Amino acid sequence: MIEVRGLVKRFGLKTVLKDLDFQVQAGEFVALLGPNGAGKTTFLRILASLSRPAMGEVRIAGYRLPQQAAAVRHILGVVSHQPLLYGDLTAEENLRFYGKMYGIGAPEKRIGEVLDLVGLSLRRRDLVRTFSRGMQQRLAIGRAVLHDPEVMLFDEPHTGLDQDASVMLDGVLREVAARGRTVVMTSHDLARAGDLASRFDVISRGKVVASVGRAEMPAAKLLDFYRASISIREDAARVSSEQPSSRIRM
Amino acid sequence: MGGEVKIATSPSKAVIRKPTSFYLRTVWAIVWKDLAAELRSRELLTSMLVFALLVILIFNFALELDPRARFNAASGVLWVTFAFAGTLGLNRSMAMEKDRGCLDGLLLAPVDRSAIFFGKALSNLFFMLIVEAIVLPIYSLLYNINLFNPGLIAVVLLGSIGYVAVGTLLASMAVQTRTRDVLLPILLFPIVIPLFIAAVKASAGFLQSLEMSEIWPWLNLLIVYDLIFLAVAFMVFDYVVEE
């Protein structure tokens, strides 16, 4: 479903992604783990067609980025730590607006379904600026699934959420995954990622350095796996700035 | 997902779908969204209006002693007022998109990105025309000049279109920087100098009842400027907003 080869992204003189390779099968839920500044958000923004790669090949559902970006956006839902919602519009108006942007037929029925999904039906006519952070994030998920995308990208969706809101968000994420959607989620929260994802990839210094399936990695050992992956990359970076063999496959 | 979830559109359908009507619906959706949000907050129009009225008042007091100088400077003062108030509106309009990451929300939609530009430009133009419609009668009263001249109104419209076209493009660029409030006027004013010269000259021509042969070159310049910058924005907006 997602295939990335030799991806390079530079901001000025700084190379943020260095020859990054990444594959996701349809229906997989991949947690992308890594320290701050590893390049997770930049990578997700390239997958979301919000950023252009300097080099490399990116394909989503067979469509190439950035050449076929409009086709990719049709099958993509994105949730970031910002809600991407208008505070001066109601929940319903926000969804109606995005429904028009995605060309959704019969939007009212679909808006009702989505508001039920994220548990905001009773607040549908309230302005988004009156919502708590958790409610805004739930509505952000509603916005992202409105056009029923095949692939969903979540960029640290739990950031700033309290415990209850995080649990509710987990429920929605599980439901999205249970519907067979392909999910890529960046996270700092290993426990949460361990609970939700079917595969864990570690990204460090702009490269995917390790990848392991849930079956091979008990949740209790995820932290050790993560630390080992990061330290190998750190050591490799110290010895040589480019060492393609530093990727662990488990 | 709360009942059966249906795929609204497939990629193949998206490519086949009637492009013109979808394009226009997208433009209208953005205009509607901006108007609805502004009706609730009234932040943008209020700040533009208050600022425009303050500029008019300051110039009124500054030029009070010399009625002739005031008449000669009328069109210049008018366009300085529109430029300052317009910059404020352009900044605010794009900041609203950036604050909650909404610009990303727009860019994630499977639409031609020039439709996003035209939607934002149309709503900016609408706000600017509202401010101008309120400012013109007040200006007329304070400066004792009849501004209800169809020619002058056409100049105001043409000048506003060009200003908003360039302004929306540059505001979408400036909004991605930390110094967006300062950067927009620094980028915008040098580029709109030809537009303002033409608008001031054409406005003065209508106010002083000059021959149309003397005004036409300035009107032509306004029309050409508008067309060029609308075309430029149509072509480059995609690259301006993408990282």
Q: Find the length of chain A.
A: 250
Judged against a pLDDT cut of 90, whether residue B67 lies above it is answered with no
Q: Check if the beta carbon of residue B70 is closer than 8 Å to that of residue B64.
A: yes
Shortest distance, CA A175 to any CA of chain B (angstroms): 6
What residue spans define the domains of chain A?
2-75+150-249, 76-148
Q: Is the residue at B189 inside a domain?
A: yes
In this prediction, residue B3 has a pLDDT band, given cuts at 50, 70 and 90, of very low
Shortest distance, CA B116 to any CA of chain A (angstroms): 10
Q: CB B22 to CB A103 under 8 A?
A: yes
CB-based contact, A193 to chain B, within 8 Å: no
**Weakest-pLDDT range from A14-28, A193-207, B58-72, B177-191:** B58-72
pLDDT, residue B9, reads 39
Q: Is the residue at B7 inside a domain?
A: no
* ipTM confidence score: 0.86
Judged against a pLDDT cut of 70, whether residue B2 lies above it is answered with no
What is the percentage of chain A residues whose pLDDT exceeds 90?
45
Q: CB A176 to CB B1 under 8 A?
A: yes
For residue A71, which residues of chain B lie inside 8 Å, CB to CB? 11, 14-15, 110
Q: Is the residue at B3 inside a domain?
A: no
**Among candidates B38, B96, B100 on the partner chain, residue whose Cβ is nearest the Cβ of A84:** B100
By CA distance, what is B39's nearest residue in A? A88
Q: Check if the beta carbon of residue B42 is closer than 8 Å to that of residue B50.
A: no
**Among the four given CATH numbers 3.40.50.720, 3.40.50.300, 3.90.79.10, 3.90.260.10, the one describing domain A2-75+150-249:** 3.40.50.300
Please give the C-alpha separations between residue A44 and each of A60, A150, A155, A178, B172, in angstroms, as whole numbers. 12, 16, 7, 22, 22
**Among candidates B7, B105, B242 on the partner chain, residue whose Cβ is nearest the Cβ of A84:** B105
Judged against a pLDDT cut of 50, whether residue B6 lies above it is answered with no
How many other β-carbons are positioned within 10 Å of the β-carbon of residue B178?
Answer: 7
Q: Is the residue at B1 inside a domain?
A: no
pLDDT, residue A105, reads 77
pLDDT, residue B20, reads 79
Q: CB A102 to CB B40 under 8 A?
A: no
**Among candidates B9, B107, B108 on the partner chain, residue whose Cβ is nearest the Cβ of A103:** B9
Q: Is the residue at B177 inside a domain?
A: yes
| pLDDT tens-place string over residues A71-83 | 999 999 999 888 8
pLDDT, residue B65, reads 62
Domain that holds residue B149: 16-241
Judged against a pLDDT cut of 70, whether residue A13 lies above it is answered with yes
Judged against a pLDDT cut of 50, whether residue B12 lies above it is answered with no
Q: Is the residue at B54 inside a domain?
A: yes
CB-based contact, A54 to chain B, within 8 Å: no
Judged against a pLDDT cut of 60, whether residue B169 lies above it is answered with yes
Q: How far apart are CA B105 and CA B95, in angstroms?
A: 14
Which range, A79-88, B174-183, B186-195, has the best average confidence (pLDDT)?
Answer: B186-195
Q: Is the residue at B37 inside a domain?
A: yes
| pLDDT tens-place string over residues A133-179 | 888 988 998 999 999 899 999 998 888 777 877 888 888 888 888 88
Q: How far apart are CA A185 and CA A199, in angstroms?
A: 10
Q: How many domains does chain B have?
A: 1
For residue B29, which residues of chain A lie inside 8 Å, CB to CB? 97, 100-101
